[in-house]
Amino acid sequence: MLRRVSPLSKLISAAKPSLLNQVACGLNFLEAFSTDALKPAEAGTTSKPRTPTINFVLGGPGVGKGTQCTRIAETFGFTHLSVGDLLRKEISSDTEYGTMILETITKGKIVASEVTVKLLKAAIESSDTDRFLIDGFPRSEENRVAYEQIIGIEPEVVLFFDCNEEEMVKRILHRNQGRVDDNLDTTKERLKVFEAYTLPVIRYYSQKGKLHKINAIGTEDEIFERVRPIFAT
């Protein structure tokens, strides 16, 4: 069922002016795709749509998000959705967006929210589980606003893995997964994009009291032990 969206102005008041044009351009899309499918049940309604638990996992490129998500998902029973993986799957499935996604990832930029959120929504809806770790998203305030408009489930926890750029570059250059963006030039761009676009999202969730900042320097085990108490309660 289509539903009317609330005015964007309220939602984007915290967004940078430079993002407003991008947000406005997404409006038609938002209206077209907004549904009640994933929304919490309203008081007085008889049907009880499921409301999945969502946690976001953020951090710079190569910081170890995917590595830690695997551990968290196994230990605490989450479904791990890497948005980067969803996008790479689109490239290899040769879909209508494939070429655009490949170009964007190769340049280290952020794929249009309309595409990303559509893929994420489909992945959540097609899963028969209801506890998710969303890895590497939202990457910008524009992503976050689109997510709120289209999926609209408030994240319970937002993890932020933090480490210095030198270590992130080192980890990426040793990743060895044959990714088109794992080279020095693209990595430099991704670090700039992280600072300019993702840090504002991290600040937003920090102000909302949802952010858990994790020191991502150390062994994988050491880092996981820093994360464990967040989900163990």
Ligand X SMILES: Nc1ncnc2c1ncn2[C@@H]1O[C@H](COP(=O)(O)OP(=O)(O)O)[C@@H](O)[C@H]1O
Ligand Y SMILES: O=c1ccn([C@@H]2O[C@H](COP(=O)(O)OP(=O)(O)O)[C@@H](O)[C@H]2O)c(=O)[nH]1
Q: Using CB under 6 A, list all residues that contact ligand X.
A: 59, 61-67, 171, 174-175, 218-220, 223
- Residue among 39 and 89 whose Cβ is closer to ligand X: 89
Instruction: With both helix axes pointing from N to C terminus, report the angle between 113-126 and 141-150 in degrees, rounded to the nearest 10.
Output: 40
CA distance 6 to 29: 14
* Residue 23's binding partner out of ligand Y, Mg ion, ligand X, none, with CB under 5 to 8 Å set by partner kind: none
Q: Which stretch binds ligand Y (CB under 6 A): 10-18, 106-114, 145-153, 212-220?
A: 106-114
Which residues fall within 8 angstroms of residue 48, CB to CB, at 6 or more apart? 41
Question: What's the one-letter identity of residue 106?
Answer: T
200 lies in the site for Mg ion, by CB under 5 A: no
Closest residue to Mg ion in the complex (CB): 66
What minimum distance in Å lies between the beta carbon of 167 and ligand X?
A: 8
What minimum distance in Å lies between the beta carbon of 162 and ligand Y?
A: 13
105 lies in the site for ligand Y, by CB under 6 A: yes
Closest residue to ligand Y in the complex (CB): 84
Among residues 23, 33, 58, 84, the one that binds ligand Y under rule CB under 6 A: 84
181 lies in the site for ligand Y, by CB under 6 A: yes
190-195: which pairs have CB atoms within 8 A and are 24 or more residues apart? 190/60, 190/61, 190/108, 191/60, 191/61, 191/165, 193/108, 193/109, 193/110, 193/139, 194/60, 194/61, 194/139
Q: Which of residues 58-117 bind Mg ion (CB under 5 A)?
A: 65-66
CA distance 73 to 82: 12
- Residue among 124 and 168 whose Cβ is closer to ligand X: 168
61 lies in the site for ligand Y, by CB under 6 A: yes
| Residues in touch with ligand Y (CB under 6 A) | 61-62, 65-66, 82-84, 87, 104-105, 108-111, 116, 136-137, 139, 143, 181, 190
